[in-house]
Amino acid sequence: MDGTTIDSPETSASDAEKLAHFEARAAGDDEKLAYFEARIARGEKIEPGDWMPSEYRRQLIRMISQHAHSEIVGQLPEGAWITRAPSLRRKMILLAKVQDEAGHGEYLYHAAETLGATREEMLEALLSGKAKYSNIFNYPTLTWADVGVIGYLVDFAAILNQTMLAHCSYGPYARAMVRICMEENFHKKQGQDIVITLARGTLRQKAMVQDAINRWWWPTLMMFGPPDNDSPNSAVLIRWGIKTRTNDELRQDFIDKIVPELHALGLTIPDPKLHYDQASSSWKTGPIQWDEFRQVIRGRVPCNQERMQVRTRAHEDGAWVREAMQAYAERYSTGVVSTSNEEH
Ligand code: BYC
């Protein structure tokens, strides 16, 4: 990108993008902005100490903290099945997966901290309902098949989105994504394995997995975010290399990959309008219920209240750990505790 784009922002620029230009110009930061955008155009990573427009920082904190919250809240629907997994092997695998999600949340909170957000602020935003987390975790897990479908469909959707983010312009986020994607691939395999087993099982097992697909199909499509023409953040995120593919492009990619796989297992998709379009060589779905999406992300569903109650209780129960760490840090800073952990 060169200076021309800065002086003449495209007429299609989003409000966020226009605000970013306005702020940068008002602060006399035209040259810095041009240099920043040229670095992104060259494929360089932006690192924590580098100059960045305040709108770039704000967008990243918004997105990364929401992503972190999704990983943390995302432990709950599957975690509920750890004690009810049908075998020791399934239990061990699920336990490892849920622990991975906690780790992902940690990497992501750290990535957001590199931008100046504090853990306290982010947690406060989550627990007070100010911050969003992925729509998908506001649905209940009713049967064991739901665990398989979350791993197979939801983690696959997440992989497509996160593989894109592994190439994003902000170094700490991109690097966190590389490791997260490797682990997500394992998660997808565990889910796919459950779905295949149930689809090849008894009539009751097959009905159970079909029911799970029926309930999770549409929420999974919504995970990619609203349609491109109703996605206020996309323009600025794409301009600055945070997103490199749009919500609709990623959603279509997911549909084209997953539909033949589910059909091959003898499973159906709960969409009477789904059809293969020869002209575009892709699967076309019926309309997505975006009203439902809006209700769900605003937390206007019972599952959201339940998730927040569990997280709030966990936060309160963890108060003594935070206090102990604080006390230790104070004693360490005054030299009462040495680096080798021995008391003087
Ligand atoms: N859910 O302008 P748009 C996982 C909001 S966890 C809720 O298109 P953007 C897993 C959006 O925030 C993986 N809200 O937004 C974990 C915005 O509202 P605000 C989670 C959504 O950012 C455990 C408004 O709608 N992945 O896989 O350009 C176990 C307008 O949207 C959603 C990530 O978090 C949604 N699905 O694009 C198992 C990936 N979609 O903030 C599995 C990181 C949109 O302006 N995030 N909204 O008030 C992203 O890639 C992007 O933020 C999105 C949305 C593609 C999700």
CB of 271 closer than 6 A to ligand 1? Answer: no
Higher pLDDT, 314 or 12: 314
The span from the CA of 177 to the CA of 162, in Å, is 6
Taking the centre of ligand 1 as the mean of its atom positions, its distance from the CA of residue 222, in whole angstroms, is: 9
Distance from C-alpha of 138 to C-alpha of 136, rounded to nearest angstrom: 6
Q: In angstroms, what is the span from residue 278 Cα to ligand 1's centroid? A: 31
- Residue whose token pair is 């800073």: 333
Residue nearest atom 25 in ligand 1 by C-alpha distance: 225
Give the Cα separation of 118 and 115 in Å (integer): 9
Helices (H), 74-118: 75-79, 88-113
**Contact yes or no for 93/190 (Cβ under 8 A):** yes
What's the mean pLDDT in 306-330? Answer: 94
pLDDT higher than 90, residue 193 = yes
Which of 138, 233, 254 to mutate for ligand 1's pocket (most ligand atoms within 8 Å of CB)? 233
Cα of 223 to ligand 1 centre, how many Å?
7
Per residue in 214-246, is it b (16+ CB within 10 Å) or e — as a string? ebbbbbbbbbbbbeeeebebbbbbbbbbbbebb
What pLDDT is recorded for position 5? 29
| Residue type for position 15 | D
Q: What is the pLDDT of residue 200?
A: 98
> Which segment of 25-29, 224-228, 303-307 scores lowest on mean pLDDT?
25-29
pLDDT at 32 over 80: yes
Distance 47 CA to ligand 1 centre (A): 23
- Nearest Cα neighbor of 144 from 89, 223, 77 is 77
Whole-model pTM?
0.90
287: tokens are: 């309309």
**250: Cβ below 6 Å to ligand 1?**
no
Does ligand 1 lie within 6 Å of residue 101's CB atom? yes
From the list 184, 195, 180, 191, the residue with the least C-alpha distance to 266 is: 195
Q: Which residue has the tokens 């935003």?
A: 125
CA of 114 to the centre of ligand 1 (A): 20
**pLDDT at residue 271 tops 80:** yes
Average pLDDT of the chain, as a whole number: 91
How far is residue 243's CA from residue 252's CA, in Å, rounded to a whole number?
Answer: 16
Q: How far is the CA of 197 from the centre of ligand 1 (A)?
A: 31
**Using DSSP, how many helices (H) and how many strands (E) does the chain show?**
16, 2
User: Is 67 buried (19+), middle (13-18) or exposed (0-12) by CB count in 10 A?
Assistant: buried
Which residue's C-alpha comes closest to atom 13 of ligand 1?
158
Which helix (H) or strand (E) segment holds residue 283: the answer is strand 282-284
Q: Which residue's structure tokens are 């889910």?
A: 191
Closest by CA to 170, choosing from 99, 226, 114, is 114
List the beta bridge partners of residue 275: 284
